[in-house]
Structure 1
Amino acid sequence: MAYRTVVVGTDGSPSSFRAVSAAASLAAATGATLVLACAYLPMRERDRSAAADLLGELSYKVSGSTPAEDALRAARGHAVAAGAPAIELAAEEGDPVDVLVSLAGRFRADLLVVGNRGLNSLTGRLLGSVPSSVSQRAECDVLIVRTTSGR
């Protein structure tokens, strides 16, 4: 089976960029479109005010979808370097699992790629992790990339 559309989640962390690079390499090998996805949650007004006071005219960098869009731009660089032939960006407000599963459906993805971060942590085992929840809810293939040592 050749993948036509691959969705990969990123939060702008170095470990998520390893998942992006793996997904981009796979997209390059199959000629698939790569969708870089990032979920974000709205900042509380109190936190937004504190950031605005601290950052002044740069406060736009921490409000709304700007941090997610920054993460996506950085992820695009990794995807281009790995040879992805076609790249789309998607920043959406919501819980990471909900956003990834929703975007995979909306883009009719054949494959959803996430990093393993959280799978081996105590919190992940007790409360559930993004990779575990995505693998249970997605209606397409899921690839969990080893992006952390798990120690």
Structure 2
Amino acid sequence: MPVSAYRTVVVGTDGSESSLRAVRRAGALAGACAARLVIVCAYLPPRADDREVRRAQEVLGDDAYQVIGSRPAEDTVRTAAERARAGGATDVHPIAVVGSPVEALLDVVKREQADLLVIGNRGLNSIKGRLLGSVPSDVTRRSDVDVLVVHTTG
């Protein structure tokens, strides 16, 4: 599929500098293709009975707030939208989604009928990486659409 054929691009971010480099690259690509760019940040709902929340609290301790609740995710996608626009995107749609990162990205790709998913090769060298695992690997393996893995680390 030629690059110009991409109409809707989804990019994931966890707020790390590495993942924001992928967002900027996705913004440049979306701008060049005149494509719609959907920026996704997943978060865990703050429910005491949720196993993922308990696991986040066990693994991250006082830093668990970074992946729990919508406010950090909304701040992340706002910042990411600025980076995407700086990269060249004009039609930008930031969204914060409840769920695990892999499931959230795949669900948004399907819902938005995206034809490209962009992810950094290591958006998880932040504190969240200890909890979330290898999102790039899982997404690449499970995606039904093209995946662009951006080399975001030195």
Q: TM-score range by the shorter chain?
A: 0.7 to 0.9
TM-score, structure 2 as length reference: 0.77
**2:89 alignment partner in structure 1:** 84
| CA deviation map 1:40-75 (0-9, x unaligned) | 11246597xxx8xxxxxxx9x986211000000000
Question: Sequence identity of aligned pairs in percent?
Answer: 57
**Is 1:101 matched with 2:71?**
no
Amino acid at match of 1:14: E
Root-mean-square deviation over aligned CA pairs = 2.8
Kindly indicate whether the alpha-carbon contact (under 8 Å) linking 2:43 and 2:99 is maintained by their aligned counterparts in 1. Answer: yes
List 4+ stretches of structure 1 deviating above 2 A.
42-47, 61-64
**Is 1:22 matched with 2:25?**
yes
Unaligned runs of 5+ in 2: 49-53
Structure showing greater Rg: 1
Once the two structures are superposed, the pairs formed by residues 1-151 of structure 1 within 5 Å of their partners are 1=2, 2-43=5-46, 45=48, 64-117=69-122, 129-149=134-154
TM-score, structure 1 as length reference: 0.79
| CA deviation map 1:87-143 (0-9, x unaligned) | 111211111000001100110111000001179xxxx9xx96111110111111000
How many residues get paired? 133
| CA deviation map 1:14-50 (0-9, x unaligned) | 1111000000000011000000000011246597xxx
